[in-house]
Amino acid sequence: MSKGTPDGPLLFIYGDDEFAVSQRARNVYRAWCEEEAAGEDNEIIEAHAANTGEALRALARLNESIKTLPFFGEGKIIWFKACNYLGDDRTAKASDVNSGLVDLASELKTFEWGKVKLIISSGKPDKRKAFYKALAKLADTEEFSAISLDDRDWQAKAEQFVAAKLKSLGLAVQYPVVAKISQLVGPDTRALTSECEKFASFAFSSEEIKTSDVELIVTQGKHAKAFALGDALGERDLPKMLKRLEEDMWAAKTDRKKSVIGLVAGLVSKMRSLLFARELLDLGLVQHVRGFAQFKSQLERLPSEIFGSDRRISPLGIHPYVLFNATSQAQNYTREELVRAMGLLMQSNHRLVSSSLDESFVLQRTLTQIVAREAKAA
């Protein structure tokens, strides 16, 4: 979300979303520099330090800068950039660095700002420390938390970020486009920003952008590639699925962290989510909706007791966004087809571990049987 320029002379921007922190600080610095009162004596101090000595030199330079009055009574803007010793790492724990920060806090408390303005940007600080507590009282503070795949609401947050970014670029697109960009890129705000800016550089109008354009232009994040085979299975798209299977089989042979059995496990997990989604739809407990927020509110209204306490056999044990995607894809299969598909995957897993059959052949045959429209029980 876009924010205005702070009124106060001291701004503290922090958080574990390094890109968002840097972007916000840069935007405010530029805006302040363009103000009529600002002069030419502005300064960016690289505060990032690899050791105690570098940290102390950066703090000394900041102290000197704020005490050096600008020429001709003009304004002065200082950005103490990317400070990385306000948390709990080794440099932050050094007694000399802590003393330097205490001295800086004392200086800021009594400093007569006049036309001087200061931005301090940093990673996530230790809020128990005296320096943070002093800044919290003295400065305008803004926190930017990274979006994580472990966050059950990451998709909604990513969509909100994408919608705001596209709007700032003059592209007020429809929800399916916003959702598609978020799905393909993932929760990385730097990558999301880069991909959104592609549409502006291609001179799209908001009415022109379609989800098919997104698939052609956007570079997929690692998380999207990891789920591509399962999504092709859910979409019942055999050509796409076989192409992705070939890529994943090659990756399993060349990457020690991956395996064919792990690939099957991922497909079983996908089938499990499709089965749960199919059940929820068939029982009328949820309806397929376009927006994740709407779907999530449907889930939250469901009484938990109807599923029992064991989350391993409950749809509520699945990430809400995974289930949201599954409600759309589950409509490509009947319940009977999904049950049969689960059985076929378990059979293929048994063949892979107990026979010398070619692994690619086993999985190609299994997936072809699953998506075949007129498949009959084996």
Q: Hey, how many other C-beta atoms are within 10 angstroms of the C-beta on 273?
A: 22
Q: Is residue 149 part of a domain?
A: no
**What CATH code is carried by the domain that includes residue 249?**
1.20.272.10
271 close to 345: Cβ distance less than 8 angstroms:
yes
Sheet of 116-122: strand order equals 43-46, 76-83, 116-122, 10-14, 140-143
Residues 112 and 137 in one domain: yes
Phi, psi dihedrals of residue 278, rounded to the nearest 5°? -60, -40
Residues 206 and 288 in one domain: no
Residue with tokens 């900041």: 62
Rounded-to-integer distance, Cα 120 and Cα 134, Å: 13
Residues 262 and 354 in one domain: yes
| Helix, strand, coil percentages, rounded to 5, for the chain | 60, 10, 30
Rounded-to-integer distance, Cα 367 and Cα 2, Å: 46
Residues 86 and 132 in one domain: yes
> Alpha helix (H) ranges present in 236-314?
238-254, 260-282, 292-301
Q: Is residue 2 part of a domain?
A: no
What's the pLDDT score for residue 239? 92
Number of domains in the chain: 3
Half-sphere CA count of 24, side-chain side, radius 13 A:
27
2 close to 168: Cβ distance less than 8 angstroms:
yes
Residues 201 and 274 in one domain: no
Residue 255, classified by CB atoms within 10 Å of its CB into exposed (0-12), middle (13-18) or buried (19+), is exposed
Residues 211 and 235 in one domain: no
Residues 209 and 261 in one domain: no
Residues 117 and 234 in one domain: no
Enter the tokens of residue 121.
């940007």
What's the pLDDT score for residue 39? 63
Residues 76 and 183 in one domain: no
Q: Is residue 378 part of a domain?
A: no
Q: Is residue 377 part of a domain?
A: no
Domain extent, residue 111, equals 10-143
Q: Is residue 83 part of a domain?
A: yes
Low-confidence residues of the chain, pLDDT below 50? 1, 375-378
Residues 241 and 363 in one domain: yes
Q: Is residue 168 part of a domain?
A: yes
pLDDT tens profile 342-353: 999 999 999 998
329 close to 337: Cβ distance less than 8 angstroms:
no
Rounded-to-integer distance, Cα 340 and Cα 290, Å: 28
**What CATH code is carried by the domain that includes residue 191?**
1.10.8
SS (H, E, C) 315-363: HHHCCHHHHHHHHHHHHHCCHHHHHHHHHHHHHHHHHHHHCCCCHHHHH
Enter the tokens of residue 376.
């009959």
Residues 358 and 233 in one domain: yes
Q: Which H or E element spans position 140?
A: strand 140-143
Which one of 201, 217, 233 terminates a domain? 217
236 close to 328: Cβ distance less than 8 angstroms:
no
Q: Is residue 46 part of a domain?
A: yes
Q: Is residue 265 part of a domain?
A: yes
Which one of 217, 233, 252 terminates a domain? 217
Half-sphere CA count of 167, side-chain side, radius 13 A:
10
Residues 175 and 272 in one domain: no
Q: Which residues touch 176 (CB under 8 Å, ≥6 apart)? A: 211, 290
